[in-house]
Structure 1
Amino acid sequence: MADPRLRRQLAEGKFVAAPGVFEMITARIAESIGFDAVYVTGYGTVASHLGLPDAGLATYTDMLSRISRICELSSVPVIADADTGYGGLLNVQHTVRGYERAGVTAIQIEDQEFPKKCGHTPYRRVIPLDDMLRKIEVAAEARTSDDFLIIARTDARTGHGLEEAIRRAEAFGNAGADILFVESPESRDEMAEVCRSLKKPCIANMADGGRTPILPAAELQELGYALAIWPALGFLSMGAAVAHAYTRFKETGSSTHDDVPLYNFQDFSKLMGFQEIWDFEERHKEVAE
């Protein structure tokens, strides 16, 4: 079931900052730190699960299997990428129902042509506005709870300009979207214009290395954003750390270096749930005669 807290937080004007998670280690770390929400990133999930680019190659089944597991673990609202809805209108209906059953709280659907591409890479094209509006209407009709929120994203900024992107986002809100996502504005002024122009809650995408300036949460809230996602933070930091550790190991033949921080093994075991296993075994151990 969708978590009602995200809707309440938006209604109360509380800014929500959600880190990107993409597999179970990042999900467990995010859970242990304590966030108001987490974001299941399509880019990171496809890279982690399939070792492939986020270019429309992952299926609904690929994504749902990972998202379901993250929802089971998470005690906070889960926002999840659903690309274009994985096809036409019937696919959108199927996707919304599946994500909602899995425990997702907010589903992100975008207006790209299929196959879609990461929103900060080139050669993205958008579908006609009317086609996207029908997708949003189907999504709103398919959900069973108003706590299940629809995030409608437009990728029109790069190819058609900011004015067209804002026009589309406004139409998305009128069609039933709860949260509006103008992807890849290219300056702070553009980000401010998005928030000034749109009446429904807006989401910012803080994709490190992408087209949009990376701003702190307090500044995003000041601009007028209701929530923001940091989708790449987890996989870029993990990639950098693993690359450094493996390089030093290759160079020296050792895993022990002052410049290679390692998670304490006992703490990591507890993070993965071993404490519950140890407690169970202690309760049920055989009594020596």
Structure 2
Amino acid sequence: MKSAQKLRELLSSQNILIVPGCYDAFSARLIENAGFPAAFMGGFAVSVSRLGMPDTGLISYAEMADQGRNICNAVSFPVFGDGDTGYGNAVNVQRTVKGYADAGFACIMIEDQTAPKRCGHTRGKQIVSRDEAFSRIQAAVDTRESGADILIIGRTDANAVQGMDEAVFRAKKFIEIGADITFLEAPKDEKEMHTYCDNVPGPKMANMVEQGKTPILTPSRLQEIGYKIAAYPLTLMLAGMNSMKQTLKAIKQEKQPENLAEFSELKDMAGFPEYYKTENKYRV
């Protein structure tokens, strides 16, 4: 079954989807092996891990698509891909959507920020006009309808710029145009989260960014409010960063690092057993 169809079936289930964020093939494989139904490749995490640079529009379409292709090839479950602004005008959006579908993504997110865009939980965000925002989503939907097997998330950052009324208006319009999922970024409290969920039809995604602008709620609470997807885009990166810092500190102090995984587990995760099996099959 193709990844987009797998995601459609997951969205038709009653339970909320808990979707950790990945930033490379290895982190995606860890998420899949832990039993989660899907992963989310976010622009922030990829920009930091691949370039060592902030999520301020510096990473390109080609770099994101390349990273996504490696991720999707490493796993068998659906992967969401951050398509940012589509990397240009409506024609660029169409190329981005088709490219992400060809890379193996089950879903792409297109947003209404101006370029260069910024992480939704940082300062300096600006949004394009309604007409341009709707044009981006229309271009994405048209590409899907023309044969790209991929779902569309319509994202709005309008709450930080023009308030909740504008954000809800845009999210509703995204659904009318044909987006499969909406994502209203950075509601500041549960009241705003309820306003969004109560007024916008269709599946909705919550973004659980630790120390961000939105309250961190349990998946069950998010489902009660009306969300269908709970994304954790930076949780693994934050955990890994803290663990690696402690490990580096121990090495510097000439101590044996603690809480390391087994080397055998790392080899298994990397795929050595499958490699050896195939190697033996074709051994001369």
TM-score range, shorter chain: over 0.9
Counterpart residue number, 1:267: 265
Shift of 1:188: 1.4
> Would you say the 8 A contact 1:151–1:179 is kept in 2?
yes
CA distance in 2 between counterparts of 1:125 and 1:43 reads 17
Change in Cα spacing, 1:217 to 1:145, as seen in structure 2 (3 Å) is farther
Once the two structures are TM-superposed, the CA of residue 186 in structure 1 deviates from its matched residue by 0.5
Match of 1:129 in 2: 130
Aligned-residue offset at 1:147: 5.4
Q: What is the alpha-carbon distance in structure 2 between the residues aligned to residue 204 and residue 182 of structure 1?
A: 8
Given that residues 2 and 100 in structure 1 are in contact (C-alpha distance below 8 angstroms), is that contact kept between their aligned partners in structure 2?
A: no
Indicate the residue corresponding to 2:191 in structure 1.
Answer: 189
Paired letter, 2:127: V
Partner Cα distance (1:236, 1:169) in 2? 30
Aligned positions of 1:137-152 closer than 5 A: 137-143=138-144, 144-145=146-147, 148-152=150-154
Change (3 A) 1:132 1:278: same
Structure 1, gaps ≥5 residues long = none
* 1:90 equivalent in alignment to 2:91: yes
* Contact 2:106-2:150 at 8 Å conserved across structures: yes
Instruction: Give the whole-Å Cα distance in 2 for the aligned partners of 1:281 and 1:104.
Output: 29
Residue 99 of structure 1: how far off its partner (Å): 0.6
| Distance (whole Å) between structure 2 residues aligned to residue 283 and residue 6 of structure 1 | 34
The residue correspondences of 1:233-252 to structure 2 (distance < 5 A) are 233-250=235-252, 252=253
Asked if 1:208 corresponds to 2:210, the answer is yes
- The 2-side partners of 1:28 and 1:10 are apart by 21
Which runs of 5 or more residues in structure 2 are unaligned? none
| 1:65 to partner: Cα distance | 0.4
Letter in 2 for 1:80: G
Q: Could you tell me which residue of structure 1 aligns to residue 36 of structure 2? A: 35
Secondary structure in 2 matching 1:20: strand
Distance 2:78 2:29 in 1: 14
Quote the RMSD (CA, aligned, Å): 1.6
After the TM superposition, which residues 27-66 of structure 1 pair with which residues of structure 2 at under 5 Å, given as runs? 27-66=28-67
* Residue aligning to 1:230: 232
SS in 2 for 1:3: helix
Contact 1:20–1:38 (CA<8 Å) still a contact in 2?
Answer: yes
CA contact (8 A) 2:98 2:148 kept: no
Measured against aligned partners, the alpha-carbon deviations of 1:134-172 in whole angstroms (never above 9, x if no partner) come to 111111111245852110100011121112111111111
CA distance in 2, matches of 1:130, 1:107: 20
Partner of 1:108: 109
Q: Distance in 2 between matches of 1:202 and 1:194?
A: 9
CA contact (8 A) 2:120 2:157 kept: yes
8 Å CA contact 1:109, 1:151 repeated in 2 = yes
Q: Is the 8 A contact 1:2 1:145 kept in 2?
A: no
- Amino acid of the structure 1 residue aligned with 2:228: A
Is 2:1 aligned against 1:3?
no
Q: 1:219 aligns with which of 218, 221, 224?
A: 221
Q: Cα offset for 1:14?
A: 3.2
Give TM-score, length-normalised by structure 1. Answer: 0.93
What is the CA-CA distance between 1:111 and the residue it aligns to?
0.3
Letter in 2 for 1:167: F
CA drift at 1:193 = 1.4
User: Do residues 15 (structure 1) and 16 (structure 2) align?
Assistant: yes
User: Larger C-alpha radius of gyration, 1 or 2?
Assistant: 1
Asked if structure 1 preserves the Cα contact closer than 8 Å seen for 2:19 and 2:37, the reply is: yes
Per-residue deviation, residues 51-91 of structure 1 (Å, max 9, x unmatched): 00000001100000000111111211111101000111110
Q: Which moved more, 1:138-147 or 1:260-269?
A: 138-147
Contact 1:3 1:76 in 2 (8 A): no
- Report the 3-state secondary structure (helix = DSSP H, G, I; strand = E; otherwise coil) of the residue aligned with 1:80: strand
**TM-score for the superposition, normalised by structure 2:** 0.95
- 1:164 counterpart residue number: 166
